[in-house]
Structure 1
């Protein structure tokens, strides 16, 4: 970790960037805004660039990942870029048999459901994600420094979400095999998440060493759990990841879907910013999260299809509710939907900045 601390001390000078100032609880010159899944999905230039290239191949091609990450920054004028990646990238890099099947999502060749399966899992060596680190270096050069520089957010899936894919063998509606394993064999479960926490740390440390200015730990499926089960089976491992990044000196964002009842526990995991989906108003969420942490969110992505008057009203409401928090980073409550009109997102950015 000493090497990481040295690298973080030599980062681009972006202290006055609106994103970083808002996270510190300050009042930047303009409210910061970026969008989850902004890198691609709805952009025609993304679809043209990705044509004929598989998702994971794009993630491991530095020049391609760099250009995809930059496209929404150019198009929308957002206040942060987020590294184009996927939750299963570090698993793939470690040598675990996983592919992203179009129309399905990540599919695991050999699901992990026993102590022997966990013991057989490979570790992740930093060299295996060298292409991702190279993409980060290309991006920091493009995004600049000083007053006009744009922060770059690193990205990784949280241990629980990675575990769910490994145990289920792919996406799951009910997570029945995952929950069965955690309850019936907690020792194997915790060994699995401990292993995945180490993979996640290695992946994020590589991004930090290459120069990202913040990190987001994304727990897609945590909302499937009760607070009791989250605290027992998930919180210690997410906390280990976030604590392992503390000395890098960059903001840590933690987000999950459907996690309104878990916000207090997620805040205890140690992030500086807690992302909130659209199900809980930001002023209510701020009360659950507690003092000293910023919130991120939380426009319902589906509202972007409702017409400009509705979108504008919702943006204004969310901006007002966000004032109850230590700091507020405007975002969607989940990712940009593929059919979203990019011009609507551009208007959201303009409106947020004007407020």
Structure 2
């Protein structure tokens, strides 16, 4: 373990050539970035979880009622011990062979077993109130974080001139306000990672875990390597659009569609400007090019910039999804479906007479064609009835 620790914290990995950890410990300032400081983020994460629980109970739930958030009424499944045991221990979506086996042991038909599992899954789906509370908690944090970060950075020289990020690097003193700004953000993302298993599970559940883990690694490494100045700019750029997205979600769950659409358009504009213009031109350029005027490349330089480039690739992907949604809104008149990375899982049909869940593509197309044919047929029947009625009315006076 000691050998692993020595290998992990080799100064050649974290610091430019010629700089040692002893040199970093001699930094004069209100705070010195040291690896042991990261231990503070764990109790901060626990504190965020407790604060979130209190916030949702005291503020978020009453606010959801005030804005008119409504939860869907879902049918409660009848007691079925064998089905419930299979649902909890094995799978929430049994295969056809498993359905047949469960039907034999439970005394139900296969259709009844399928309906029971469908209703049981819907019963576990999060309510709009729960989703609203999660979005409101993230909205409050991102808004406070962005406001506090902007207030702490607007008077710093590196906020206006990114060359100042590297003046005296890596032996740069870290102010207390930036020390807590950094560790608070890191603690918040730890809390998100710890709560991801109990939060609303979305289609990008695995991507969320990867994103939170990558963010924690990026923040932790940049702190230890004293990339604090440029790191604060990265956090500020991301927080500037995140709180707008969460506010749009809140009004979406409340059913305020017009307000949600307006907020989403504002979010899209801010996202595209900050992530596709400011982030690559002001931040990535300074970490890749301007930093080389101060020190020679080292392992930490390549690792940090590789993470930033991966982050920029994600920005391009999300921007493409946002632009596609904006096209649908502007030219088709509505947002048909949320194509963002945090799109909720679709609600399953709770009608007992509905089609089976796992429909093949050709079956879905056949259902659509059948519905269109039915509409055309009914339209033809109505037209024939109307024509016959008109003919009767036109011939009546002649008969008289």
Which protein has the bigger strand share?
A: 1
The TM-score normalised by the length of structure 1 is: 0.27
